[in-house]
Structure 1
């Protein structure tokens, strides 16, 4: 989990390093130039400081400053330039290449690839309800491996702390989750402030449904999904009733909690 968290931190730093203007809209010359340096490496492959300076019409000293900053942020890494044929005298020139985290900061097509794959599964299975069932089976199989890891985290804490433990485990996987008391005081709300598969889940809600089923099994109680990022809400919110409540009262309390979903992040109309 620690390595995965470190990888996410590096990707976040890479995204910030290759971002354009600041959030306020004010031009950020340093950031803009640094982004051009990284983009040039993406477009042209591993490059020397001299090659980058020539392409971007900058001094080599300026390029090296940006390369040092990008290397510190995990966006690029120095390598020895490959020499084909006989090598001349002296040390080979150093080139700078994008790291995996650096590439991730640029546009990717993972969401489209995932959606295409699920669409293919549905069509191959026969379409209609049969196809939807095939996608649901895939969604449950996908979350099963995560569920085992989450189960280990929950078994080490008492029942009243399991929502918090689940939130921490989800955060390790990039969901930026928190657990808090529900406004009705009849349970808790598990809030996921980020969803790595939101764009795909928008087309295939089976992903959200399988996740909700897993939450229910892990926590040992009925849960109700109140909001999802995939459907335009600001936060994925799941209501977790108190474990000792009767089943008949759980649905009632979950319904009451729905009225307070704005507090959990639903976007205003």
Structure 2
């Protein structure tokens, strides 16, 4: 699921996406982009979807009223202070919005993990979390290998692969620093990971192995962040040997 903002088509209308069955599908697309690229403004959404800002604001109003998005304080992914003045309203997805995007079965998964813990202990939950992500590691290792040795290209390749998996991921270089932040705007197991953070920890370990460097998790959706943010020091990346994940 790729939700990166794209160039707007030439034709724009206040009625684009505002009539008939298009209303809901357009709002779904808006929600996906907010999850992927947020915090994001109405103007950015309008450019990405080829709608007028007025049309986008109507969709944002509906989504905000439904509790699926909220206005976020204008800070960067790196946590830098907000600029002075009155910046444009920027939107992020709420937990309810994340649930609307998810096609998983969180309650069933939670019950299964609670049973694993009851029968075999918390260590078994950790083992399950690691085993669950082995497939992701195997699938993305060749893509990162094909990206070569350029650190930023490897992180971007990982972000693209995660987006295909439904994580709405982006790679955001930090100006003036040899660091990239991998931001995931959607997590299919967010509700379960809130109870079992071992799922997030296992994912962090996989990123570290794929990239060949120690990475640091700054925030997670499961813990209440508006994105999952992983700090990656690209100046120190070590490309794994060929044939190893």
Aligned partner (choices 143, 152, 157) of residue 153 of structure 1: 143
Does structure 1 conserve the Cα–Cα contact (< 8 Å) formed by 2:103 and 2:188? no
The residue aligned with 2:216 is 224
The residue aligned with 1:24 is 61
The residue aligned with 1:144 is 134
The residue aligned with 1:212 is 204
Aligned partner (choices 95, 114, 120) of residue 115 of structure 2: 120
The residue aligned with 2:67 is none
Cα deviation for residue 16 of structure 1 reads 3.3
SS at match of 1:230: coil
Cα deviation for residue 181 of structure 1 reads 1.1
Distance 1:147 1:107, change over 3 A: closer
Q: Which runs of 4+ in 1 moved over 3 A?
A: 13-23, 105-109, 243-246
Which runs of no fewer than 5 residues in structure 1 stay unpaired? 6-12, 27-104, 126-130, 247-269
The residue aligned with 2:187 is 195
Number of residue equivalences: 154
The residue aligned with 1:238 is 230
Cα deviation for residue 24 of structure 1 reads 2.4
Cα deviation for residue 109 of structure 1 reads 7.6
What TM-score comes out, normalization by structure 2 length? Answer: 0.55
Does structure 2 conserve the Cα–Cα contact (< 8 Å) formed by 1:226 and 1:239? yes
Q: How does 1:155-194 map to 2 (within 5 A)?
A: 155-159=145-149, 160=151, 161-183=153-175, 185-194=177-186
SS at match of 1:229: coil
Distance 1:119 1:17, change over 3 A: same
Higher RCO (CA 8 Å, separation ≥ 6 residues): 2
SS at match of 1:116: helix
Distance 1:106 1:143, change over 3 A: closer
**Aligned Cα root-mean-square deviation (Å):** 3.4
Distance 1:18 1:120, change over 3 A: farther
Aligned mates of 2:216, 2:155 — CA distance in 1 = 14
Larger Rg: 1 or 2? 1
What TM-score comes out, normalization by structure 1 length? Answer: 0.51
SS at match of 2:133: helix
Post-superposition Cα deviations, 1:145-189, rounded to whole Å, max 9, x if no partner, equal 111011011010123211000000000000010112125613111
